[in-house]
Amino acid sequence: MKRRDFLQTMMLATGGAMLKPMWWPHLAQAQSQLGSKILVMVVFQGGNDGINTVIPYTDGLYTANRPTLAIPQNQILTLNDDIGLHPSLSPLMSHWDAGNLAVIQGVGYPNMNLSHFRGTDIMFSGSSSETVWSSGWLARYLELLNPDFPEVLPPEPLALQQGFSARLPLSGDRGTTGVIVDDPDTFFALVNAGFTPSPDDVTTGFAGDDEFGFIRQVDVESFEYADVIENAASLGNATGNYPAVPIGNQLSTIATLIEGNLPTPIYLAAFNGFDTHANQQGNHDTLLDYFARSVDAFLQDMDRIGRKEDVVILSVSEFGRRVGENGSFGTDHGTAAPWFLIGDGVEGGLHGKQPPLDNLDPFGNLLVQEDYRSIYANLLSDWFGATSAQTSAIFEGNFSDLSLIQSLSRARPSVSPTLTQLHNPKPNPGRGTRSLSFDLAQDGLVDLSVFDVRGRRVAQIMRETRAAGSHQLSWTPNSSLSRGIYFLKLNAGGRETTQKLVLN
């Protein structure tokens, strides 16, 4: 059985739990295409009441349908003569004024499914209501960039998910392409608590030897991820005034990891409570307040560390709520709802049209104005640089009628490196001569060595003083090195960075 077939079989048999975390190959290729851009997706679990979030405050049907839940007009944060924001979103108004907040109105899809479970699956998979897909749209894109996944596992994660345990967002067609972690310290402790390294007890002579060795490599790599995440967490320190609630803690963690130079372009966060069937007033106000204050603190941290132009935040929810309030002072499951996109690279303003309150579908729900896949496709193309052929393949159709990003990532002038880092060796995996490259933020002594999985130095490639800048060299592994996983480590200027090296 081939390793890929074996992995897929084990994923089906164990639900993926045995092999978490699982990553895709050729990290350098994926990073070069995604660049330095970061997407943070915040999930409003339960179905956010869009009508009380982005409010058609001049429409008399708004107050008529919501005698107790309608927000008083003198409290609404006006965006134009007809539309305004809930007052709890006031921390976002500075971003609106700066042109960095896009309000996408009436988001949904044809024949919306109002089940939490199915609606959430549709939102994460990027499918229509009639199609059931078992993979997430983000994972499919990353697998398109990495056709050899999952045979080679890179040393650093490309996606981190917090706040919810759903596998679908990061599930690809060939395996799980991300890891779920709430707190870096907890993750590090949990992983290392059960680790007993024993790479020398090699088994030979039985039918499953190759597959067993592959599982061991995945296991070793899992511990390396824990160390990478813990190292980034130790280098970063979010200082924003985050509310001490789950969404605040999650965005604070993401800010810390970004400041710690974790090269991860996709983060997912979530918080629940939006299923407001009863006693909505107060509860919904508080949720929006937590969201707005957390986002504002996060963006202040991104500004402080010089990454504000590299990050956008997208808020999503599986559906909205009905126009009228119910008898329990709440709202029931509805269809279209607004989504937010926030960041320095965003084309701010109102996008799409506010769903009319006097023209509803046969079930009394709002009419969808913007297909949610248009938002995803626009982010993939204009933020991450995906081609139209790639987005069409991911969503099995063309969804590109929105313009949410100011411009496609522009080439910036070449500057001296600001971070000492080691890049992925090329080719990898391989056997012969490798091309190695690294950046130095300052002049200094450089130690570049190779270690085995037991932490033993098996080769010292370089130990000499080099000037600040980008460097490249060739290295041929000694024929005495057996095939398997090794770690290429660069020590310079008090910083250590690592890349996985696979000999085959």
Tell me the per-residue pLDDT of 363-419, one tens digit each, with 9 for 90 and over. Answer: 999 999 999 999 999 999 999 888 888 888 899 889 877 899 987 443 233 445 667
Does 428 lie in the same domain as 347? Answer: no
Query: Residue 231: inside a domain, yes or no?
Result: no
Does 149 lie in the same domain as 73? Answer: yes
CA 361 – CA 364 distance, rounded (Å): 5
Does 341 lie in the same domain as 390? Answer: yes
Does 442 lie in the same domain as 361? Answer: no
Query: Residue 281: inside a domain, yes or no?
Result: yes
Helix (H/G/I), strand (E/B), else coil: 183: coil
3-state secondary structure 310-334: CEEEEEEECCCECCCCCCCCCCCEC
DSSP 7-60: HHHHHHHHTTGGG-S---S-HHHHHHHHTT-EEEEEEETT---GGGTEE-TT-H
Q: Is the pLDDT of residue 104 over 90?
A: yes
3-state secondary structure 187-224: HHHHHHHCCCCCCCCCCCCCCCHHHHHHHHHHHHHHHH
Does 379 lie in the same domain as 302? Answer: yes
Quote the number of domains for the chain.
2
Does 89 lie in the same domain as 13? Answer: yes
Does 462 lie in the same domain as 343? Answer: no
CA 240 – CA 301 distance, rounded (Å): 6
Pairing, β 101-108 against β 337-342? antiparallel
Does 291 lie in the same domain as 145? Answer: yes
Residue in the structure block whose two tokens are 């997912």:
268
275 touches 116 (CB < 8 A): yes
Query: Residue 292: inside a domain, yes or no?
Result: yes
Pairing, β 434-440 against β 421-422? antiparallel
Q: Produce one character per residue of 179-210: b if its CB has 16 or more CB atoms within 10 Å, e if not.
A: bbbbebeebbeebeeeeeeebeeeeeeeeeee
Element (H or E) spanning 161, and its range?
strand 159-161
Residues of the chain with pLDDT > 90, as a percent, come to 54
Distance, CA of 120 to chain centre: 16
Predicted local distance difference test score (pLDDT) of residue 194: 46
Does 451 lie in the same domain as 385? Answer: no
Contacts of the segment 324-328: beta carbons below 8 A, 24+ positions apart = 324/65, 324/66, 324/364, 325/65, 325/66, 325/67, 325/68, 325/69, 325/280, 326/277, 326/278, 328/277, 328/278, 328/279
Look up residue 301 and give its amino acid.
D
Q: Which is more confidently placed, 86 or 153?
A: 86
Kindly state the DSSP code that residue 425 receives in the 8-state scheme.
Answer: P
Burial, 420: exposed, middle or buried (Cβ in 10 Å; 0-12, 13-18, 19+)? buried
Q: Mean pLDDT, the chain, as a whole number?
A: 83
Query: Residue 279: inside a domain, yes or no?
Result: yes
Nearest CA among 194, 175, 155 for reference residue 485: 155
Residue in the structure block whose two tokens are 């500057």:
415
Does 338 lie in the same domain as 428? Answer: no
Query: Residue 49: inside a domain, yes or no?
Result: yes
Q: Is the pLDDT of residue 65 over 80?
A: yes
Query: Residue 192: inside a domain, yes or no?
Result: no
Query: Residue 124: inside a domain, yes or no?
Result: yes
353 touches 105 (CB < 8 A): yes
In this prediction, residue 451 has a pLDDT band, given cuts at 50, 70 and 90, of: very high
Q: Residue 97's domain is classified under what CATH number? A: 3.40.720
Helix (H/G/I), strand (E/B), else coil: 72: coil
Average pLDDT over residues 187-208: 50
In this prediction, residue 503 has a pLDDT band, given cuts at 50, 70 and 90, of: confident
Does 352 lie in the same domain as 298? Answer: yes
Nearest CA among 109, 110, 112, 91 for reference residue 100: 91
Residues of the chain with pLDDT > 70, as a percent, come to 79
- Within 8 A by CB and 6+ apart from 13, the residues are none
Query: Residue 87: inside a domain, yes or no?
Result: yes
Does 434 lie in the same domain as 360? Answer: no
Helix (H/G/I), strand (E/B), else coil: 443: coil
Predicted local distance difference test score (pLDDT) of residue 34: 60
Q: Residue 488's domain is classified under what CATH number? A: 2.60.40.1930
Domain containing residue 166? 3-186+245-395
Q: Produce one character per residue of 150-174: b if its CB has 16 or more CB atoms within 10 Å, e if not.
A: bebbbbbbbbbbbbeebbbbbbbeb
